[in-house]
Structure 1
Amino acid sequence: MDNEVGQEIADALGILLRRTTRAQLHKQLTAGMGEGVDEVTYPVLSALARTGPRSAADLAPDVGIDRSGVTRRASRLEAAGLIRREADPHDRRAHLLVLTERGQLAVAELRARLAAHITASLSSWPPGEAEAFAHQLRRFTAEGPFA
């Protein structure tokens, strides 16, 4: 394999990882989700679903914003009843952000919307190609440079 393949993959990843690309997708996914859920709060909600209860400081690197940005977004999600704050059992000075049942339902809806959006975008691919792509992408994330 030559560097052209690596460059082609790097270019595609550059598009996928751009903040504007993610924000546009998040805006589409969150349309009509109700109070507190939008392209700005989506990353915090999604990260909490992936990681479980975390402090704003611990969640910040996963979300790609600073602690105060996570705290502001968490306040909006808390006001909407999607997360709650609990005392951190390991640090009395800190609070953990925890998804509520309503937050878990919102995440399930967002994940279903994302899966449907991806499925629709691949519907024109020849039979078997989308499945092969999914398999190879899973392998790339497990064994590639991000593993």
Structure 2
Amino acid sequence: MASGTPALTAPPPGPGEDDLALADRVAHELVMLIRLVKRVGAHRAEAELESAAFPVLAHLAVDGPQRSGEIAAAMCADPSTISRQVAGLVKAGLVERRADPGDGRATLLATTTDGTRILDLERRRRAEQLATALSGWTPEHRTQLAELLSRFVTDLQVHDQGGTR
């Protein structure tokens, strides 16, 4: 090979059949988990909180006031979907519109006192249900589940954005 010529390397091998079978099993379990979480959410204590809007309310409570477009980007959701969810939250008095101090023409969305109260109740209810479901697990296994789920979500986000860890 001539000096200065870049070496050609083979692309890394793709996943093998065992890897694909395991990934398919994980995907199946995730679909079942999502269905169960939605079912659990359908039995919420407070009727004001539509289950689809719960993540929007939680996002605002954690990350603070934001524009609707910022929420959509952060949640990887279509802006029109977020707008509909926000409209319902505003109508229910759980989110309010505020003037954006950086741009008087724009508005920021923020949780209201009622929104925070409802969110806290909903989080507590969900935590109680999950804690009950995990009550037969050892503390080490519960911790391991939380850590592995966090790692999986992070790795999936990185992969989705085309990056590497």
TM bin, normalised by shorter chain, reads 0.7 to 0.9
Please name the residue that 2:82 is paired with.
70
Please name the residue that 1:39 is paired with.
51
Give the secondary structure class of the aligned counterpart of 1:125.
Answer: coil
Task: Output one character per residue of 1:56-87: Cα deviation in whole Å (capped at 9) or x when no partner.
Answer: 11101233332222122111111111110001
1:12 is the counterpart of 2:30: no
Please name the residue that 1:99 is paired with.
111
Q: Which has the larger radius of gyration?
A: 2
Task: Output one character per residue of 1:102-145: Cα deviation in whole Å (capped at 9) or x when no partner.
Answer: 1111111122122222222222224532233334444x269745
Moved more, 31-40 or 114-123: 31-40
1:30 and 1:42 in contact (8 A); partners too: no
Alignment match of 1:115 (pick from 124, 127, 142): 127
Alignment match of 2:40 (pick from 5, 28, 45): 28
Pick closer, same or farther for the CA change 1:88–1:113 going to 2, 3 Å: same
Structure 1 residue 31 displacement after superposition:
2.5
Structure 1 residue 12 displacement after superposition:
2.5
User: Structure 1: which 5+ residue stretches go unaligned?
Assistant: none
User: Structure 2: which 5+ residue stretches go unaligned?
Assistant: 1-14, 159-165
1:132 is the counterpart of 2:160: no
Distance 1:21 1:134 in 2: 14
Give the secondary structure class of the aligned counterpart of 1:84.
Answer: strand
- With normalisation by structure 2, the TM-score equals 0.67
1:55 is the counterpart of 2:67: yes
- Percent identity reads 25
